[in-house]
Amino acid sequence: MQPVVVTHPLAQCHLTAIRAAETPPHQFRRHLNLLAQMLFLEATRELPVQEVAVRTPVQETTGSALARPVVFVPILRAGLGILDGIMTLVPEAIVAHVGIRRDEETALPQAYYANLPDSLASADVFLLDPMLATGGSACEAIRQLKEAGALTITMLCVVSCPEGLAALEAAHPDVPVVTAAVDAGLNEKCYIVPGLGDAGDRYFGT
Ligand code: PRP
Ligand code: URA
């Protein structure tokens, strides 16, 4: 499955701002939140809604309501950087957490925390992480989500690369990816190039 790449000019301007090494954390957060909203709008184009009755001050008509619960799953830490912006679009969403960090030597994912609700099977689940590098963290998170019952998962990531997309396609071909960029690849430390550096450090200022 090909990733959906959000090429909207405003999305690409926000992406450029968060790529820039001189962008301080408070601006990084602002641009990331806005970009996350644009990715989420694209990711939810086909979100199921049901028809509901609504009474305007003038007369009865029909409108839409979400058909199923929405669950956001940020991969700690950096996934939290996507959460704030999209929570404003679906304030009633449930937030589940998966904690995964990469081993700095091997770049392999190390899972250290999970808090997943029982209701995953009936929900539209959105996995959040700004970076899809080797794909190890995303594959592990999706494995956990499926084990917990999730059936409909979409991954939102800001910057991806061919290596991470290939790993995800091999392990979880049923999970679509919505991203703002497919970068050239990985460097010797498994960082995305050109990328934006360490997303968690840049978001949290560590
Ligand atoms: C970063 C990023 C992803 C992961 C991507 O997290 O937020 O979770 O690396 O790399 P991968 O595709 O090769 O697995 P990191 O391990 O730096 O943890 P942090 O969010 O706590 O900084
Ligand atoms: N994690 C990051 O934060 N950035 C990368 O480029 C790769 C993994």
What are the tens digits of pLDDT across the range 33-76?
999 999 999 999 999 999 999 999 999 999 999 999 999 999 99
pTM score: 0.97
Whether 198 sits among the annotated catalytic residues: the reply is yes
- The string of pLDDT tens digits covering residues 83-105 is 999 999 999 999 999 999 999 99
Neighbours of 110 (CB within 10 A): 13
Residue nearest to atom 5 of ligand 2 (CA): 191
**What's the pLDDT score for residue 1?**
75
What residue ranges line ligand 1, CB within 6 angstroms?
75, 77-78, 100-102, 107, 109, 129-138, 164, 190, 198-200
| C-alpha closest to that of 82 among 22, 18, 21 | 18
Contacts of 85 (CB under 8 A, 6+ apart): 32, 33, 34, 35, 36, 37, 40
State the Cα–Cα distance between residues 151 and 114, nearest whole angstrom: 18
**What's the pLDDT score for residue 133?**
98
Task: Quote the mean pLDDT of the chain.
Answer: 97
According to CATH, the topology of domain 4-44+69-204 is Rossmann fold (3.40.50)
Pocket residue to mutate for ligand 2, from 196, 204, 206, most atoms within 8 A of Cβ: 196
Catalytic residue among 68, 77, 102, 143: 102
The tokens for 29 are 């957060």
**What's the pLDDT score for residue 119?**
87
Ligand lying nearest the CA atom of residue 155? 1
**What's the pLDDT score for residue 111?**
98
Q: What is the 3-state secondary structure (H, E, C) of 174-199?
A: CCCEEEEEECCEECCCCCEECCCCCH
**What's the pLDDT score for residue 15?**
98
